[in-house]
């Protein structure tokens, strides 16, 4: 863990290195992924059967066996403890409500020149949802990826989830059922991405693929981009917490560790204006690491990438936060709304002392799929906007064209595009 | 040019091949681009000077010479013919007005459980605008790329434009001036993209790079993606025109050719329900090709990629249009609004007989940077949304956390993330 003080002469350089350190090295898998994609494009289902046996360690009997049946989904959901199903329900309702509020409206603008201009939002026809298998299979991520697509009005959601050794995660299926996803395939890796992008006899192609995955999945998404849309490639997760000395150090410590427990590449950073409070949080982190089940992972993340930065004042903290552009930001300050007004770049913000990030990870309503690694400078969390696209339109009357057409002709001719100019000019006569 | 009839037995296969034909092969330039980006990262301005001499054929005296001065911009604008400047002004005003109407509002949602949820839009800090040099330097594209960024509230717009042989295009500079762009560098290619992404002593880095370019520029944008945001990689342009026999065949022909004159890879497709009208349009295209200055390019595009498709009825035409998902769509039908309601996928639509696409290319107001190559299935034209990002936020009272916290704890424990659960549970006591 790095301790920094903005008053130290070496601070600027140390902070710069904190910003520039890549916390994860990306495996070089382009060629392997390219081969997998070609195999699926050329052989379709046959390639899926072969690659699933090879990478997931089970042999599907035939292409039909790749699809999870409705009965399997029902059985999985029926086996979940009712209190857990109720929690899933509460989360789903709240996520749906928030994303419904995001839905944008169409524009229709009458224009002084006599034209009408418009912009219309329409949902994508079909979306693919990649859900990681094994340990990283999170039902909450199924809700966070599928529900915005449903709310946006996407007609078809095809979910893929690898099942190492043939094992399905029942809570993932229960989340799929709750999110209204009925088309689920037990495939994963680059081969699943290829099948969603290009289609096979069994799996119809989609228009966009979302959801997290390992290096192979990320590279496959990069390679099919253009054929289909993709979401951004997520890096390791991070939190920045701004907390003054009036907070309980233990609460700040557990919030830092909730981030750190994701994986060793996660990053948790505290910014505070009180050196004694910083010490108390560091001690509380050590105490919590004694009892946490995932202490090995969280401890490694904290030692490698954690940071405690002592600031002169909060203005300085806001400026540093804007440079960090964190995925998650907790504002444990007396006036968190005023603080929020000073922060320009963050994926999601949590305001006040009663609002740990974990509330947002599960049940608050906003999406937990967020821009990582300083990309909140230009990127946003997953939303209904990921599942909608715009068509702009222009309607011109004869008089409208007479009003603005001559300017179009002048510009077209200046650009040397005479057919452009003529397409307008012929209508002006 | 391909003539198809939906009644022919071979139609489905022929239409499928029309959909799948790549009209452009992408040059393999990854390695060359990787070297250029590394050179700029390691050597900064020195690499820019060397690469500009090598690729653009002129030797900048020093790094300061890379910047176009305010006096040069003023002089360029002062030399433009007043009627052309007036056309540029009309276009800019209309583009600004339309994009201002796009600006979304923030959300603040009080929640029955006692939380407040929100979503806030903020502009990017800094954007890079790539403008191609030489023949493809279009002042209209400067307006279409820069004005939405200005309207969104982007603080800094850095424009790069290669100047082959040292020659600047005055109308491009005049458009930059009209769009409020004051930071212009005479650099291009992968080296310009690298400079915008990583920064040099002379050029501060930006957060997102937009604008069209050649294969090197496109590959450079791919390689810097993640460090900065990029816009989508545009392919060759296309138009689909739906026109019935009540139209003037010559107007349909010139609209098809306005698309075809862009370059040999452009595509123009007519869908009509009248064989005689189709013949008349084909004849009118031939007649126009006799007189158009860019007939060599337009003719080549029309012969290679043009298509005339005879449909049984308009429902069939709408279904085919949705599969084509064209960048531009002209609806030259008696009730274009009803037709528009049937089309789900198109970048931009032009309604009625008095609305050639060229109006939208220059002066209508909506953006002319649009999704090509069937990507309108999932992508949208350039807009203020490209220069804004969202931060979602959650504000929880103590009572609010009590209401929804237990569900978060249950889900966190089911996912095996105990620190997540504990960060909520400790606050519930």
Distance from CA of B61 to the nearest CA of A (A): 31
Q: Do A355 and B226 touch (CB under 8 A)?
A: no
* Amino acid B418: pLDDT: 96
* Amino acid B226: pLDDT: 87
Q: Please give the C-alpha separations between residue B77 and each of B72, B178, B257, B353, in angstroms, as whole numbers.
A: 9, 9, 31, 35
Check B238, B327, B330, B357 and give the catalytic one. B327
Class of domain B2-23+236-365: alpha beta
Which residues of chain A have a CB within 8 Å of the CB of B429?
none
Burial of B367 from C-beta contacts in 10 A (0-12 / 13-18 / 19+): buried
Q: Name the DSSP letter for residue A305.
A: H
B332: closest chain A residue by CA: A395
Q: Do A364 and B102 touch (CB under 8 A)?
A: no
Q: Which CATH architecture has domain A236-377?
A: 3-Layer(aba) Sandwich (3.40)
A72 is catalytic: no
Which residues of chain A have a CB within 8 Å of the CB of B124?
377-378
CA proximity to A93, closest of A172, A177, A179? A179
**A126 in Cβ contact with A158 (< 8 Å):** yes
Distance from CA of B319 to the nearest CA of A (A): 13
* Amino acid A136: pLDDT: 66
- The answer to whether the annotation marks B169 as part of a ligand binding site is no
- Please state, as a whole number, how many other Cβ atoms lie within 10 Å of the Cβ of residue A147: 28
* Amino acid A168: pLDDT: 87
Facing residue for A364 by CB, picked from B354, B376, B394: B394
Residue range(s) in chain A whose domain bears CATH number 3.40.50.1980: 30-230, 236-377
Q: Please give the C-alpha separations between residue A365 and each of A19, A116, A361, B83, B406, in angstroms, as whole numbers.
A: 30, 37, 9, 54, 15
Which residues of chain B have a CB within 8 Å of the CB of A392?
98, 347-349, 360, 366-367, 381
Which residues of chain A have a CB within 8 Å of the CB of B268?
none
Residue range(s) in chain B whose domain bears CATH number 3.40.50.1980: 2-23+236-365, 30-230
Residues pairing with A2 in the sheet: A307
Q: Do A115 and B251 touch (CB under 8 A)?
A: no
Angle between helix axes B70-78 and B170-178 (nearest 10 degrees) is 110
User: Is the CATH code 2.60.120.380 the one for domain B30-230?
Assistant: no
CA distance B239 to B326: 6
Residue B384: pLDDT over 70: yes
Distance from CA of A61 to the nearest CA of B (A): 31
* Amino acid B244: pLDDT: 98
Q: What is the pLDDT of residues B244-272, one digit of tens each?
A: 999 999 999 999 999 999 999 999 999 99
Each of the 429 residues of chain A gets a pLDDT tens digit; together they read 999 999 999 999 999 999 988 887 777 898 999 999 999 999 999 999 999 999 999 999 999 999 999 999 999 999 999 999 999 999 999 999 999 999 999 999 998 888 999 999 999 999 999 998 866 679 999 999 999 999 999 999 999 999 988 888 999 999 999 999 999 999 999 999 999 999 999 999 999 999 988 889 999 998 998 899 999 877 888 999 999 999 999 999 999 999 999 999 999 999 999 999 999 999 999 999 999 999 999 999 999 999 999 999 999 999 999 999 999 999 999 999 999 999 999 999 999 999 999 999 999 999 999 999 999 999 999 999 999 999 999 999 999 999 999 999 999 999 999 999 999 999 997
Question: Mutation test of the interface with chain B: which of A175, A362, A374, choosing the one with the most B Cβ atoms within 10 A?
Answer: A362
CA distance B296 to B304: 12
CA distance A340 to A322: 11
Q: How many helices (H) and strands (E) does chain A have?
A: 17, 15
Which residues of chain B have a CB within 8 Å of the CB of A354?
396-398, 400-401, 427
Q: What is the pLDDT of residues B57-94, one digit of tens each?
A: 999 999 999 999 999 999 999 999 999 999 999 999 99
CA distance B311 to B329: 16
CA distance B412 to B424: 10
**A320 in Cβ contact with A300 (< 8 Å):** no
Question: In this complex, how many residue pairs, one in chain A and one in chain B, have their CB atoms less than 8 Å apart?
Answer: 369
* Amino acid B174: pLDDT: 96
A305 is catalytic: no
ipTM of the complex: 0.96
**B160 in Cβ contact with B195 (< 8 Å):** yes
Q: What is the pLDDT of residues B220-235, one digit of tens each?
A: 998 999 899 999 877 8
Distance from CA of B414 to the nearest CA of A (A): 8
Facing residue for A255 by CB, picked from B119, B376, B423: B423
Per the rule left: phi > 0, alpha: psi between -120 and 50, beta: everything else, B21 is: beta
Q: Please give the C-alpha separations between residue B21 and each of B2, B14, B191, B234, in angstroms, as whole numbers.
A: 13, 11, 32, 16
Q: Do A347 and B391 touch (CB under 8 A)?
A: yes
**A383 in Cβ contact with A102 (< 8 Å):** yes
């Amino acid at each position: 863990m790095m301790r920094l003080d903005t008053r130290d002469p070496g601070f600027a350089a140390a902070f710069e290195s904190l910003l520039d350190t890549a916390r994860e090295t990306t495996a070089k898998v382009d060629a392997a992924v390219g081969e997998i994609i070609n195999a699926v494009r050329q052989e379709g289902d046959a390639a899926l059967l072969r690659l699933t046996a090879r990478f997931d360690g089970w042999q599907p009997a035939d292409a039909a066996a790749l699809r999870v049946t409705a009965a399997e989904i029902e059985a999985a959901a029926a086996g979940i403890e009712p209190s857990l199903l109720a929690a899933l329900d509460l989360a789903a309702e709240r996520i749906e409500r928030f994303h419904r509020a995001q839905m944008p409206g169409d524009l229709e603008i009458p224009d002084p020149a006599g034209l009408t201009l418009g912009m219309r939002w329409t949902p994508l026809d079909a979306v693919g949802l990649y859900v990681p298998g094994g340990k990283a299979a999170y039902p909450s991520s199924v809700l966070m990826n599928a529900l915005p697509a449903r709310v946006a009005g996407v007609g078809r959601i095809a979910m893929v989830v690898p099942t190492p050794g043939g094992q399905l995660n029942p809570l993932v299926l229960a989340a799929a059922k709750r999110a209204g996803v009925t088309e689920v395939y037990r495939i994963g890796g680059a081969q699943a991405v290829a099948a969603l992008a290009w289609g096979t006899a069994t799996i119809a192609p989609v228009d966009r693929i979302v959801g997290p995955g390992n290096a192979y999945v990320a590279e496959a998404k990069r390679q099919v981009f253009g054929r289909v849309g993709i979401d951004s490639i997520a890096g390791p997760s991070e939190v920045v917490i701004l907390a003054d000395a009036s907070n309980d150090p233990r609460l700040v410590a557990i919030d830092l560790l909730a981030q750190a427990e994701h994986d060793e590449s996660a990053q948790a950073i505290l910014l505070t204006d009180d050196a004694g409070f910083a010490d108390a949080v560091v001690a509380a982190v050590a105490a919590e690491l004694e009892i946490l089940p995932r202490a090995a992972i969280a401890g490694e993340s904290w030692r490698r990438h954690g940071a405690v930065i002592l600031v002169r004042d909060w203005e300085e903290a806001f400026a540093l936060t804007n440079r960090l552009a964190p995925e998650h930001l907790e504002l444990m300050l007396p006036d968190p709304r005023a603080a929020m007004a000073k922060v320009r770049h963050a994926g999601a913000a949590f305001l006040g002392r009663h609002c740990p990030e974990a509330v947002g990870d599960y049940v608050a309503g906003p999406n937990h799929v967020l821009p990582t690694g300083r990309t909140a400078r230009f990127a946003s969390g997953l939303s209904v906007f990921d599942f909608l696209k715009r068509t702009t339109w222009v309607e011109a009357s004869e008089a409208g064209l007479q009003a603005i057409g001559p300017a179009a002709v002048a510009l077209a001719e200046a650009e040397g595009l005479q057919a452009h100019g003529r397409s307008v000019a012929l209508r002006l006569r």
